[in-house]
Amino acid sequence: MQQVQYLTVEADHQGRRLDNFLIGRFNNLPKSLLYRIIRRGEVRVNKRRVKQDYRLQTGDNIRIPPLQIASSGPPVIPQKVLDTVKQGILYLDDHVVVVNKPSGLAVHSGSGLAYGLIEVMQRLFPDRKPQLVHRLDRETSGCLLLAFNMPALMELNRQFKEREISKVYLALLHGHLETSTTVDLPLSVATKQGERHVYPNLDQGGKPSRTDFERLVSVREATLVRAHPLTGRTHQIRVHAVAMGHALLGDKRYGERGDNLRMRHQYGLRRLFLHAESVSWVHPKSHETVVVRAPLDSELENVLLKLGTRHGDEKMKKILIKLKSGGKDVG
């Protein structure tokens, strides 16, 4: 039996039917169960009962009751995973926690996964019922924000909806990006072979999407950038990078296989080079601005070190020194 869950509707699900959203999110549960809990009013949207055909709005807060999932008991979470996540806590108080999510760990269970980061955090904080404020792709590492109580969750959801929360990512792009740039390109989502695939869509159905790319340094084969998504679409940074002609290195879905293999063999890059470097928000209790930064993991750090060493690029080495430490600012 799971705990009560609270899900925040992201912009990509704007206009989606509630039943279809839940079926996609809980695809390991019978559809009959999901329709039954909607019909009984056990699923609440913004604290209200709704029908199965309710059209979701960005920022909606969905309450999911404890769900009985066929299993032999609570998921077995390896101690190494618990330790890694615990050591990755970057900010912690009575209302909010920020964790440096490791690459390869999904944010929640489902789709054949017995556990995700939310289940790990609920195991680490059994009396505080942490809830996700936003999401990161499974392969993306870095800052992930969670709330410990409903007032904090609702306020942070509001800040996300109003685009008052800022997230900044580090990404390594294929090729030489000449200058900093902004990509303003509408995006749509399609499902292919059971997986969500995002593509540019200039027609009426495309949702406005904008990303600022700040060029930090280029070497012969790659460019390190800071990416600031001004909207929050699924895979936005990855698809906008492809639209520029500079796919993220290590991106198995949208990148070039040959480029990824070369980076793997020459520099040891075995994952998507996308890291949520920082997140900033106004604290729901103190009303102070909080900025939290997550250090790069050793794999990404070593890739940059090898790139800088091989090409004799001192600027890359200097930037790497600045990126090695995380931290937080409050005030």
Residue 275 has pLDDT above 90, yes or no: yes
Q: Do residues 31 and 173 both lie within one domain?
A: no
Instruction: Give residue 331's pLDDT.
Output: 62
Residue 325 has pLDDT above 70, yes or no: no
How many structural domains are present in the chain? 2
Phi, psi of 157 (to 5 degrees): -60, -40
Using the 3D structure, point to which of 35, 55, 73 is the last residue of a domain. Answer: 73
Instruction: Give residue 326's pLDDT.
Output: 66
Give the 3-state secondary structure of residue 317: helix
Using the 3D structure, point to which of 50, 73, 96 is the last residue of a domain. Answer: 73
Task: Please state, for a pLDDT cut of 70, what percent of the chain lies above it.
Answer: 91
Exposure b/e, 205-244, CB count within 10 A at least 16 = b: eebebbbbbebbbbbebbbbbbbbbebbbbbbbbbbbbbb
* Nearest of 140, 235, 144 to residue 196 by alpha carbon: 235
Under a CB-based contact definition with an 8 Å cutoff, are residues 206 and 140 in contact? no
pLDDT band at 42 (very low <50, low <70, confident <90, very high): very high
| CATH number of domain containing 197 | 3.30.2350.10
Q: Which two tokens stand for residue 144?
A: 């992930």
pLDDT band at 94 (very low <50, low <70, confident <90, very high): very high
Under a CB-based contact definition with an 8 Å cutoff, are residues 146 and 130 in contact? yes
Name the active-site residue from 60, 137, 251, 259: 137
What does DSSP assign to residue 11? G
Least confident of 29-43, 115-129, 186-200, 264-278: 186-200
Cα-Cα end-to-end distance for the chain: 41
Residue 261: CA count within 13 A, CB half-sphere = 3
Instruction: Give residue 260's pLDDT.
Output: 95
Tell me: the pLDDT tens digits for 229-259?
Answer: 999 898 999 999 999 999 999 999 999 999 9
Instruction: Give residue 272's pLDDT.
Output: 98
Residue 98 has pLDDT above 90, yes or no: yes
Q: What is the mean pLDDT of residues 60-75?
A: 75
Q: Do residues 174 and 316 both lie within one domain?
A: yes
Residue 169 has pLDDT above 70, yes or no: yes
Q: Is residue 179 one of the residues assigned to a domain? A: yes
Domain extent at residue 34: 1-73
Tell me: the pLDDT tens digits for 279-289?
Answer: 999 999 999 99
Residue 5 has pLDDT above 60, yes or no: yes
Instruction: Give residue 313's pLDDT.
Output: 64
Instruction: Annotate 36-83 with DSSP letters as a single string.
Output: HHHHTT-SEETTEE--TTPBP-TT-EEEE-----SSSSS----HHHHH
Using the 3D structure, point to which of 73, 102, 125 is the last residue of a domain. Answer: 73
pLDDT band at 12 (very low <50, low <70, confident <90, very high): confident
Q: Is 12 a catalytic residue?
A: no
Instruction: Give residue 312's pLDDT.
Output: 61
Q: Is residue 249 one of the residues assigned to a domain? A: yes
Distance between CA atoms of residues 116 and 106, nearest Å: 5
Q: Is residue 41 one of the residues assigned to a domain? A: yes
Q: Is residue 149 one of the residues assigned to a domain? A: no
- Average pLDDT of the chain? 89
Q: Compute, in degrees rounded to 10, the torsion defined by CA atoms 201, 207, 208, 211.
A: -80
| CATH number of domain containing 50 | 3.10.290.10
Q: Do residues 318 and 184 both lie within one domain?
A: yes
Residue 72 has pLDDT above 70, yes or no: no
- This prediction has a pTM of 0.80
Q: What is the mean pLDDT of residues 42-64?
A: 92
